[in-house]
Structure 1
Amino acid sequence: MNGFIDGHCHISASEFDKDFGEVIRKAKKNDQVNGQRAACLSDLEGVLDLVVKHANKLVAVGEIGLDFTPWYCKSKEQRDEQRQVFIQQIQLAKRLDLPVNVHSRSAGRPTVNLLKEQGATKVLLHAFDGKPSVAMQGVECGFYFSVPPSIIRSEQKQRLVAKIPLENLLLETDAPALGPEKEGRNEPSNITISCEWIAKIKNITTDEVKRQTRLNALTLFPKLSAFLKR
């Protein structure tokens, strides 16, 4: 197979309940925050043991990370607790020899710094919203960065892609979020938009982007190979 690999997607989200089959059909055709809150330590109770129990079935540990958006994380105490949760998750992933799929919003530098401090090496930073200079610190550590279709309307994402080597990029949709339009539901089929914009920015072909991002994904998530053979 030589299709796209979506490095970060929420296909089980309720937005897809009514037409899940059609969404999957469209995705296959192209393959040729309500109630949310900051994570706290009590959320880990029982979860870490569950991850260990099913580690042989897991491709990665995630989505984990830091979200310091002001209206979402309102105090230093919340930020500190998020860091402690993140540290435990990183260390668990290292112990299980699994990559981490990382969220960082309004926390690009703290996220990269913490990953480096904790010795994480198998890292995907999805929809990174930090500065290219911070992202390059991650690139120096071998981290990967995945690019959503919102690149079509995001100068920050465009600057990021211009700076990060293709060898460190993956495609993602983050469906149902981060679509080509600010409002409206994103879908896995929009993965082609990410591919096309990376190609445009780097002045290469979409086939080259597709090939290299697929290779990158399989390098970071080697267990994916077993699923692709099915």
Structure 2
Amino acid sequence: MLVDVHAHLDDKWFSEDLDEVIERAEKAGIIAIIQNSLNHKTNEVSLSLSKKYKIIRPAFGIYPSEINEDVEKVCEFIRQHKKEVASIGEVGLDGTYPDMDGQKKVFSAMIAIAKELDKPISVHSRKAEQETLYELEKQDAHKVHLHCFIGSMALVKQAVKLGYSFSIPLTILKSSHFQEMAKIIPTTQLLTETDSPYLGIERGKRNEPSNIPLIVKKMAEIKGLELEEMQKILFINYKRLFG
């Protein structure tokens, strides 16, 4: 009963062998993959993938680099598919992209639609972690899932107090940052992600959902739990947030 709460299986790296990728995921014990989107076009692709593969659940949203998208069009698409959508994502703020004010306006709209439909929100916060937490708290965001959070441990603790969940990527195998996060975050607020095809353990090598067991094993080791107990906790966390 393993879950990948954040992946991008529409990426061109999967264009030739997605059937095999899904098959490997299922053999590895993955029961659900949250397929995140970037804009209206990829929202539609994510919906199509979820209809083709039962294991895939779609997330719809507008990524920080895509703020010129028609926000109302995206929100209406999300409303039309509120039964199918598992999460609002991938949305948030990114300090490496221009127009932070524009990003905040779009992010605000994404938080609002998540609250309106009572859906979780998968949040990107690269190099804008403090601003991201501020916007989430300001709008009283619910069901927040922080994807690949690389903010300071002080910010991690702040987000923990706000009740936010964190998904831990494959880089926990080597990253002291994610290992420390796994130590200090309560087990009830932990999730697993691959961000496939990105964040592979080897630079330039494609990541995929079948690597989730490696993350769970490392998390169990850090938390001092039996593997089965860690798996059970993570599944309960997933069901609580994503239904």
TM-score scaled to structure 1, two decimals?
Answer: 0.87
Greater length-normalized contact order (CA 8 Å, ≥ 6 residues apart): 1
Match of residue 118 from structure 1: 139
Paired position in structure 2 for 1:68:
95
Q: Which runs of 5+ in 2 are unaligned?
A: 31-62
Q: Distance in 2 between matches of 1:181 and 1:54?
A: 37
Separation of aligned partners in 2, 1:182 and 1:66 = 25
Q: How does 1:104-183 map to 2 (within 5 A)?
A: 104-183=125-204
**Residue-pair matches, total:** 211
1:15 aligns with 2:13: yes
CA–CA distance in 2 between the matches of 1:150 and 1:189?
14
Structure 1 unaligned blocks of 5 or more? 223-230
User: In structure 2, how many angstroms separate the alpha carbons of the residues matched to 1:46 and 1:10?
Assistant: 22
- Runs in 1 of length 4+ with deviation above 4 angstroms? none
* CA displacement 1:132-190 (0-9 Å, x = unmatched): 22122111121100011011122211111111111100011111011222221001110
CA distance in 2 between counterparts of 1:80 and 1:127 reads 23
Q: Is residue 64–residue 103 contact of structure 2 (8 Å, CA) maintained in 1?
A: no
Cα contact 2:64–2:92 (8 A) shared by 1: no
Q: Secondary structure of 1:46's match? A: helix
Q: Which residue of 1 aligns with 2:83?
A: 56
Q: Alignment RMSD, CA only?
A: 1.6
Per the TM alignment, residue 38 of structure 1 is displaced from its structure 2 partner at its CA by 2.0
Amino acid at match of 1:52: R
1:169 maps to amino acid: L
SS at match of 2:100: helix
Aligned to 1:210: 231
Paired residue secondary structure (1:6): strand
